[in-house]
Structure 1
Amino acid sequence: MRLSRAASWFLLAFGVWSWFIWVSFVRNLWKNGSGLAFDAAGDPTAYFWVHFLLAVTSFLLGTAVGVIGLRGVRALRRAPR
């Protein structure tokens, strides 16, 4: 299956965007001082683990989508016009 140029670039951009957003989210989660992510003893709470797993899943899906987009862009560049 061949992807169009627009679809390839969209998937690549989505992968990059996903990493940008979720890295920022995990950084903010790690520095959370409101008591939601860490209890008084400094141990991670259920809130932390749920959101951390959500971020890891999004990293993996964003990577997969970005790789598909990258492969589409590279295939378009190699294809004769």
Structure 2
Amino acid sequence: MTLSKRASWFLVAVGVWSWVIWPTFLRNIWKDDRSWHDGPTGFFLVHLVLTVVSLALGTAVGWLGIRGLRGGTRAAAGAAASGSDLVDSSR
């Protein structure tokens, strides 16, 4: 499968956005009075899980975007070298 450059950049942007937003969100939750009562509360733990899952998904999506950009560059270079307009996405 080949991603367009536009789609690849969008995926990279979503990955970066996740890493900008979610750590800030967790910092704000950490400071909230509902987060601690003789240890972490359910409120904090639910938001911690939400943050961890969102960062994992953001990382995966960003990685796919980077792979799409790198693959598109290699495929375009290979097509130009061979003089073909077809791109082999099996590599």
Give the Å deviation of 1:45. Answer: 0.5
Instruction: Give 1:60 shift.
Output: 0.5
3-state DSSP of counterpart to 1:2: coil
The structure that has the greater radius of gyration is: 2
Q: CA deviation at 1:30?
A: 1.6
CA RMSD, aligned part only?
1.1
What residue is the counterpart of 2:24 in the other structure? 24
In structure 2, C-alpha distance between the alignment counterparts of 1:8 and 1:44, rounded to whole Å: 38
Provide TM-score, normalisation by structure 2.
0.79
The gaps in structure 2 that reach 5 residues or longer are 81-91
Alignment-mate amino acid for residue 19 of structure 1: W
Q: Does 1:74 align with 2:74?
A: no
- Counterpart for residue 54 of structure 2: 58
Choose between structure 1 and 2: higher helix proportion.
2
Instruction: Give the letter for the 1:70 counterpart.
Output: I
Identity in percent: 53
Work out the number of aligned pairs and report it.
77
Q: Tell me: higher relative CO, structure 1 or 2? Use CA pairs within 8 A at least 6 residues apart.
A: 1
User: How far apart are 1:27 and its partner, in Å?
Assistant: 1.3
